[in-house]
Amino acid sequence: MAVDTERLRRCRVAVDLGSSRVRVALRGKGLVVDAPSAVAIDLRSGKVVAAGDAAATLDGRSPDHIRVSRPLLGGAVVQPDIVGEMLRCMLGKHRVVSAAGRFGRDAVTAMPQHLSADNRGAVKTALGRIGLRHVEMVEAPLAAGVGCGVPLHDPSPAVVAVCGASMTQVAVLSSAYSLFTETLHVGGDEIARTVEEHLRRRYWVAVSAERVRGLVAALDRAGPGTKTVRCWDLRENRPSNMDVDIEELREAVGPLLALVSGAVRRVMERCTPDVVVDVADRGVVLTGGAARFEALPGLIRDATGMPVHVPAEPDLAVIRGLERLMGGTSADLPAAGELMRDPVPEPS
């Protein structure tokens, strides 16, 4: 997909509709929304009663007439009207469009690779609910690369992987185009489900989604150890505390991380020899929430033989890239090529 930089410069709003989190940046204000992609709906009236953190808190704790759902799946907008209301609630006092409608109607958003025309239309419909009439779309790996300092129009190829909540997208970028791509429907959500199922099968305990997220976060930190979690003992049918071995959980999710590294390897196998030579020294830029898993850079390095670069905030790479594309001036944006000089060190 071609990138029209002139149109992007006219945009005032950047939106990253992720399966796990929604992020919105406004020109001149930076990131104003970073919230869970959750919405609570009153089934009696059909109205949205909470969104973001407030809705996520209600998950599993709401009365029967309140349903908490996640209306985004794999970057696709399942319910455009609900997503529009969710965005309206999240933005709150932040005005996207002026009262007279004279400015702010142009937006840029990230989309998964090979998103269908129907799904692109659903995204535009959802953003139209908050007054955005013209929407530019940029593939997520390209936006993530720009957010990490990969020069947009540099002809030298760069490999960017976006490991999100519901999928992993890998692309070889050159001159604002994707030369080779790979999409894998494995991400942070699948890792969380694996942790939950492992504890249930092996120890007969049920752990809430909120506490599972805490365990997944503990996997990101280096070193062995244990974490105490409150759970429900399915044998005794009562609440209990359990010390969870973090290294054991790392072994449980290891096969999923191997699938991600395999996707990067498959992209490299499709590259021409000239492209392989060009990217060999630059390495792989790894972004998305799952990029925080300490084992993943090493797996990719072993699978490809290339250095791996992970930004300080890999989960913000896409929205930072969209902000840069529309002319944002956030101090958090790295200089072009900055990240490429600082790969993740190999273990000693």
pLDDT at 345 exceeding the cut of 70: no
Helices 246-270/209-219 angle, 10° precision: 70
pLDDT at 144 over 60: yes
Q: Which two tokens stand for residue 133?
A: 């009439």
Give the C-alpha separation, 49 to 68, whole Å: 10
pLDDT at 333: 45
Q: Please tell me the total number of residues recorded for the chain in this structure.
A: 348
* Beta strands at 284-287 and 308-309: parallel, antiparallel or unpaired: parallel
- Distances in whole angstroms, Cα of residue 24 to Cα of each of 134, 157, 320: 16, 29, 10
Span 232-286, pLDDT tens digits:
999 999 999 999 999 999 999 999 999 999 999 999 999 999 999 888 878 999 9
- 140 phi/psi in degrees, rounded to 5: -55, -45
Q: Is the pLDDT of residue 100 over 90?
A: no
Can you tell me which residue has the tokens 């129907």?
A: 118
For the chain, percent of residues with pLDDT exceeding 70: 89
Residue identified by tokens 């001149």 is 28
- pLDDT greater than 80 at residue 216: yes
194: confidence class by pLDDT, cuts 50, 70, 90: very high
Cα distance between residue 317 and residue 33, in whole Å: 15
Alpha-carbon gap, residue 223 to 247, rounded angstroms: 8
What's the pLDDT score for residue 44? Answer: 94
User: β-pairing, 13-17 with 39-42?
Assistant: unpaired
329, 297, 330, 291: which is closest to 312 by C-alpha? Answer: 291
Judged against a pLDDT cut of 60, whether residue 329 lies above it is answered with no
Domains and CATH numbers, the chain: 5-141 (3.30.420.40), 153-187+253-314 (3.30.420.40), 188-251 (3.90.640.10)
Residue 222 pLDDT class (50, 70, 90 cuts):
low
124 vs 136: CA distance, rounded Å:
9
C-alpha–C-alpha distance, residues 287 and 160, integer Å:
8
pLDDT score at 330:
45
pTM of the model: 0.89
Query: 286-323 pLDDT, tens per residue?
Result: 999 888 888 889 899 998 899 999 999 999 999 999 99
* pLDDT higher than threshold 60 for residue 55: yes
Q: Look over the chain and give the mean of its residue pLDDT values, rounded to a whole number.
A: 87
Q: Can you give the pLDDT at residue 346?
A: 59
Residue 53 to residues 50, 210, 212, Cα–Cα distance (Å)? 8, 12, 17
